Structure formats: C-alpha cells, structure tokens
Amino acid sequence: MLAIGSRAPEFTLPDQDERNVSLTTLLNKGSLVLYFYPADFTPGCTREACMLRDMHTEILSAGLSVAGVSPQAPERHTEFREKYKLPFTLLADTEKFVINMYDVDGPLGLGVRRVTYLIDQARVIRAALRADFRISQHEEFVRRATLLSGHARPIN
C-alpha cells in the first residue's frame, strides 16, 4: 500500500465504456476516493460497490468523486455497473499495471487487495485503508473522507 503523504502515480486505464481515463481527469472535479477491489460480482465486492452507490450523493456533496479499479475487462465492468446501477467509473486493469503501481497486488501476485485511497487534487494521498474482508471499515473510511471533504488532514 502506498504511504499517506506520498504522491499518487499517474495512470490511464480504460473505463467500462472502453474510454481511456487518467488519474488527472478523475481529479479534475476535486479529491478522489480511489478503491481497488478483487472482482466484479463477488459477494464482498458487490457489497462494497453497492455501499458506495448508496453513499454516492453524500460523496458528491462533499466535493469528492469515486472510481474503482479491478482486473476485469471493460465489458464485465459494464455488466456489473448496469446490474447494480453503479453511478461511478470502473476502470479495467487487466494487466494489473496500476494495481502493482499502487502496491495492492495480492500475496504472491494472486488477486487484488481491497484498498481505498483518498487522493487530493495535487495527487497527494491523504488517507489509505487496507481491509480485505471488512467492508464496514471501507464504509467508515469513506464517511470520514466526506466529513473532511478533501481537507489536507490525514484520516486516522
């Protein structure tokens, strides 16, 4: 996991519509909740995505946006977004290039760790959480991020 206070690496990945999206583009509207998850349609990942969907209005009201990254193809992300009515971007990292850059690859290179970052518009990581099986910790993390609404204090 990348350290709080470090600079988030720039990247460009295809979204669910196969459009290339960069970190800079995602940050155009404000700070970003960037979350990494293992796979679409798995129980934990579905629960996490639906939690973010249900909080989306609150997230936007705080001046934040959300994007998810996993190794599935754009078509799979499209199906996942449509089935669960997800209003945020899902990015396809099929080669796990960004997953490795953000140090969220699973043990022995298998899978992806469940990690959420709060990144400000200067690309500084303001907060980070790794909790592979505790979706409730990610929900609390996002709630605290919305309260801070992009201020430059780390979340403890």
From the list 45, 52, 112, 127, the catalytic residue is 45
Q: What is the H or E stretch that residue 20 is in?
A: strand 20-22
Furthest CA-CA distance within the chain: 39
Q: What is the dihedral of CA 62, 16, 76, 23, to 10 degrees?
A: -60
Q: State both tokens at 145.
A: 């991020």
- How far is 101 from 104, CA to CA, in rounded Å? 8
Residue with tokens 């199906």: 79
Confirm whether 45 is a catalytic residue. yes
Which residues form the catalytic set?
45
